[in-house]
């Protein structure tokens, strides 16, 4: 199996254009965990249609609501929630103060905020559950 191949099934080849919402996962993440988190995000926010999937330093592409469907309630319900069956995972959202790009992560060290994927600099934690 080619590296990254399990994540390719989560990426919509028809999703084109710029997307400023990212799911940023550690390099040790598995495709099943990414799928469950994408499912939670799409099910949580009815306005969310596209999310860029990055695992470690690899940008796999853009996942779409069209390809993956979820079932949670509202965006504030996702922030700070744990993934069912995986209590070690918690969605934490970060917003770039410059370009407003939104990134969800399952890990965070507030002393070392993630860098904006657009290159603007450090992001700010929006909510910590």
Using an 8 Å Cβ cutoff, are 68 and 38 in contact? yes
Q: How many domains does the chain have?
A: 1
The tens digit of pLDDT for each residue in 5-26 reads 789 889 998 888 889 999 999 9
Range of the domain at 83: 5-109
Task: Tally Cβ neighbours within 10 Å of residue 7.
Answer: 21
Asked whether residue 114 is domain-assigned, the answer is no
Using an 8 Å Cβ cutoff, are 36 and 66 in contact? no
The DSSP-derived string for 9-29 is: TTS-TT--S---EEEEE-TT-
Tokens representing 37 are 């988190």
The tens digit of pLDDT for each residue in 21-72 reads 999 999 888 998 898 899 888 888 888 899 999 999 999 999 998 887 633 3
pTM of the model: 0.71
CA dist 69 and 24 (Å) reads 19
Asked whether residue 60 is domain-assigned, the answer is yes
């Amino acid at each position: 199996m080619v590296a990254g191949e399990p994540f390719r099934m989560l990426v919509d080849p028809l999703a084109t254009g710029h997307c400023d919402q990212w799911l940023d996962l550690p390099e040790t993440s598995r495709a099943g965990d990414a799928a469950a988190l994408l499912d939670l995000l799409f099910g949580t926010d009815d306005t969310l249609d596209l999310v860029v999937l990055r695992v470690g330093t690899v940008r796999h592409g853009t996942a779409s609501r069209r390809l993956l469907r979820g079932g949670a309630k509202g965006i504030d319900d996702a922030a700070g929630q744990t993934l069912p069956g995986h209590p070690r995972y918690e969605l934490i959202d970060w917003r770039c103060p410059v370009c407003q790009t939104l990134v969800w992560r399952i890990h965070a060290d507030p002393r070392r905020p993630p860098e904006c994927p657009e290159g603007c600099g450090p992001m700010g934690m929006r909510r910590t559950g």
